[in-house]
Structure 1
Amino acid sequence: MATLSLYSHSFFLLLILLPVIFNLQHHLTVAGGCQYPPVIFNFGDSNSDTGGLVAGLGYTIGLPNGRSFFRRSTGRLSDGRLVIDFLCQSLNTSLLNPYLDSLVGSKFQNGANFAIVGSSTLPRYVPFVLNVQLMQFLHFKARAIELASTSDPLKGMMVSESGFRNALYMIDIGQNDIADSFSKGLSYSGVVKLIPNVISEIKSAVKTLYDEGGRKFWVHNTGPLGCLPQKLSMVKSKDFDKHGCLARYNSAAKLFNEGLEHMCRELRIELREANIVYVDIYAIKYDLIANSTNYGFEKPLMACCGYGGPPYNYNVNITCGHGGSNSCEERSRFISWDGIHYTETANTIVAMKVLSMQYSTPPTPFHFFCGG
């Protein structure tokens, strides 16, 4: 009887997941018609770090990270692919190599990823904040163009000047600015006062990239911080919303997102030749939490990999991949992977919704960014 119940439950989850898989495959097929895969440069934090922390600092991120797709750890904080991986695949381009990875044979023809775990926008000049990532990009660009004018064999493995001009510039940062401010003991009003400074740093980065010839920008807002198992397990004063998330954290995230969207509107006017797409990641992720059963997820506020069991399975001293931690079975349906980052299953749904254009302003098909 127990076995029959398990099969019934698995079949039910499969029925829920199949439309999501087919929708994602459809978007990948449509966008995958890129005759010329684009060059992509990404700036951000752990939500889009494809191995920069490991490559740059030698930090150990072991299994079970990476177990679902790569079958090994790649430095991604997930059991598999991130949203940025799915977006790259949708344009028929290779997954982005971390800029700091010296072991990839300098193969950066399709761009580079400057995102690093823990990155924020402030304070400036502290590795690896947005400003530092931007300086790394400027060095990368100068060196690539320099090589292009020589007979160096590496020049064929780098981005050309036209590649930089036609590249897609993705920005996904700001979460740590808000989260770290709360963790340092700032009041809600104190965190809110910092938001304009964070927005200003992102705006400055976009303008610098524009001055360098960039014209295509893809800007993600931040997700519902108050729904992360890490925050829920560590915050003592808990002001829950109706879905069990921390209201103050989510309110601050929404205020940041409003400022970021306003910034994008301003820059579309100021930078006349720029295409700037704002993507509402918050709405997508909060919908996963609020309507988790519709997607077949159980315990939407509990980490798959961690320690402590229900309700959050998160312990700051025993985190995923470290001694004493445990992880759910590989086919389990969890939104949160390690209490902060999402599972590949959740990232699949997020990517599908991003590609749907329903959460993009202005609505823009992602294959608009195909190379040419």
Structure 2
Amino acid sequence: MMNSHKQLFPLFSLFLVLYLLGQRVVLQAEASPQHGPTKLFVFGDSYADTGNIQRTVSNSWKDPYGITFPGKPAGRFSDGRVLTDYIAKYLKVKSPIPYRLRKLMPQHLKYGMNFAFGGTGVFNTFVPLPNMTTQIDFLEQLIKDKVYTTLDLTNSVALVSVAGNDYGRYMLTNGSQGLPSFVASVVNQTRSNLIRIKGLGVKKIVVGALQPLGCLPQETATSSFQRCNATSNALVLLHNSLLNQAVTKLNQLETTKDRYSTFVILNLFDSFMSVLNHPSTHNIRNKLTPCCVGVSSGYSCGSVDKNNVKKYRVCDDPKSAFFWDLVHPTQAGWHAVYNKLRTMNALQHILY
């Protein structure tokens, strides 16, 4: 009998160890989801748009846009990939299908959807396309139509791009008078949009801080692309300060039940400036000079005359330029910003 007990004791000990290990695995599984997000929903403007604007409306569908990726114009406001594509890459999902193409390519619905339209803002702009409120309406309708389920939304991330089109319209209409109050209204509307997206069931919502508008080529052209406009960047700092305050308050309202439901700011200002201040680190040689410009002030990147003769010129190496046209980064520019965000550990908070 004693020998039997001696044989049983190691077996019991082994069982106990395996049981405790099993309990530990269960606890770890409960502490963090086993799977990351499977879908990306995108709202905003040309920094995130991957083809929602009609071909006949925008230069983004004309040569030389898309020459780096996918090798032809595809509706992206760059020579290649944009912010959406890099966020999708980080999430390890395919870049979501543009809303405009949802019925033509239903097999891609499983990756989410891109509702961003170039030129739009949180309010109406000079571009008569869906503003962000309407873009969120589109997702809400798709949920009502059962295109996306509650589980789909739970396993998703939303990317919100606010790149400054509201300010462009305001300043052309009103100048700088009352600008601080308008900045507050833009941020307040952005906050309302974030809350609404969360209310639809999205568990992680990422909003881009405003990039340094004063460093865009349309601003630096007056200095022959040598200096950023400090006045414009002061506006950006006000916007970003108010946005940070708003998002911090939203996160403070998070409950234990919604511990994975967080609002995250992508610090595009600091990441842009880091690349522009140290361009050689990212193999960038032309930091403020745009790669693609019109041959004169009456033309822009992608312009042709009535005889279809090109009225633009393109730099020899888009991969060495940060800016593609007067407003948008090249693929190389976005890639550098993406890498900087990664080194800043700004992206890890996107994952559950």
TM range (shorter): 0.7 to 0.9
Flag structure 1 segments of 5+ consecutive residues without an equivalent: 1-33, 146-157, 309-314
The yes-or-no answer on 1:266 pairing with 2:267 is no
Q: Which residue of structure 1 lines up, in the alignment, with residue 131 of structure 2? A: 129
CA deviation after TM superposition for structure 1 residue 179, in Å: 2.8
Residue in structure 1 matched with residue 307 of structure 2 by the alignment: none
Structure 1 residues 92 and 294, CA gap change in structure 2 (3 angstroms): closer
Shift of 1:98: 0.8
Aligned partner of residue 160 in structure 2, secondary structure: strand
Q: In structure 2, what is the Cα distance between the partners aligned to 1:332 and 1:40?
A: 27
* Residues 45 and 118, structure 1, Cα contact 8 Å, conserved in 2: yes
The one of 306, 327, 347 aligned to 1:340: 327
Match of residue 353 from structure 1: 340
CA distance in 1, matches of 2:297, 2:86: 29
Match of 1:22 in 2: none
Q: Which residue of 2 aligns with 1:170?
A: 159
Q: Which residue matches 2:5?
A: none
d(CA) in 1 for partners of 2:318, 2:161: 28
Match of 1:39 in 2: 39
8 Å CA contact 2:279, 2:285 repeated in 1:
yes
Q: Are 1:192 and 2:180 matched, yes or no?
A: yes
Tell whether 2:205 aligns with 1:217.
yes
Letter in 1 for 2:167: I
**In 1, Cα distance between equivalents of 2:106 and 2:348:** 34
The number of equivalent residue pairs is 306
Query: Are the aligned partners of 1:68 and 1:330 in contact in 2 as well (CA < 8 Å)?
Result: no
CA distance in 2, matches of 1:350, 1:264: 22
Matches within 5 A, 1:30-179: 38-54=38-54, 59=58, 61-101=61-101, 102-105=103-106, 107-123=108-124, 127-143=129-145, 145=146, 158-179=147-168
Following superposition, the deviation at residue 126 of structure 1 comes to 6.1
User: How much does 1:59 deviate?
Assistant: 3.9
User: Counterpart of 2:123 in structure 1: which amino acid?
Assistant: L
Q: 1:94, CA displacement in angstroms?
A: 1.0
What residue in structure 1 maps to residue 312 of structure 2? 325
Mark the structure with the bigger radius of gyration.
Answer: 2
1:290 maps to: 277
Contact 2:219–2:228 (8 Å) recurs in 1: no
Q: Where does the alignment leave 5 or more consecutive residues of structure 2 unmatched?
A: 1-33, 305-310
Q: For the structure 1 residues 112 and 348, does the alpha-carbon distance in structure 2 shift closer, same or farther, using more than 3 Å as the test?
A: same
Change (3 A) 1:303 1:185: farther
CA displacement 1:15-58 (0-9 Å, x = unmatched): xxxxxxxxxxxxxxxxxxx9666111111110010001137x75
Structure 1 36/289 Cα, relative in aligned 2: closer, same or farther at 3 Å? Answer: closer
Matched, 1:281 2:268: yes
Q: What secondary structure does 2:121 align onto?
A: coil
Give the one of 189, 192, 202 matched to 2:190.
202
Amino acid at match of 1:265: T
Q: 1:331 Cα deviation (Å)?
A: 5.2
Does 2:292 match 1:305?
Answer: yes
User: Cα offset for 1:265?
Assistant: 0.4
Whether 1:364 and 2:348 are equivalent positions in the alignment is: yes
RCO higher in 1 or 2 (8 Å CA, sep ≥ 6)? 1
Assess, with a 3 A threshold, how the Cα gap between structure 1 residues 299 and 220 changes in structure 2: closer, same or farther: same
* 1:3 aligned residue: none
SS at match of 1:109: helix
Decide whether aligned partners of structure 1 residues 278 and 45 sit closer, same or farther in structure 2, where only a CA change above 3 A counts.
same
Q: Does structure 1 conserve the Cα–Cα contact (< 8 Å) formed by 2:291 and 2:318?
A: no
The answer to whether the Cα contact below 8 Å between 2:163 and 2:211 also exists between their aligned partners in 1 is no
Deviations 1:262-311 (A, max 9, x none): 11101112243231111110011012222224433333221100135xxx
Residues 174 and 198 in structure 1, CA contact (< 8 A), matched pair in contact too? no
Q: Deviations over 1:75-94 (max 9, x none)?
A: 00101111220221222211
- Contact 1:355–1:365 (CA under 8 A) maintained in structure 2: no
Distance 1:162 1:175 in 2: 33
Query: Match of 1:128, SS?
Result: coil
TM-fit CA distance, 1:321: 1.0
The 3-state SS of whatever aligns with 2:63 is coil
Farther off after superposition, 193-202 or 87-96: 87-96
Q: Distance in 1 between matches of 2:173 and 2:284?
A: 32
Distance in 2, Cα, partners of 1:86 & 1:343:
13
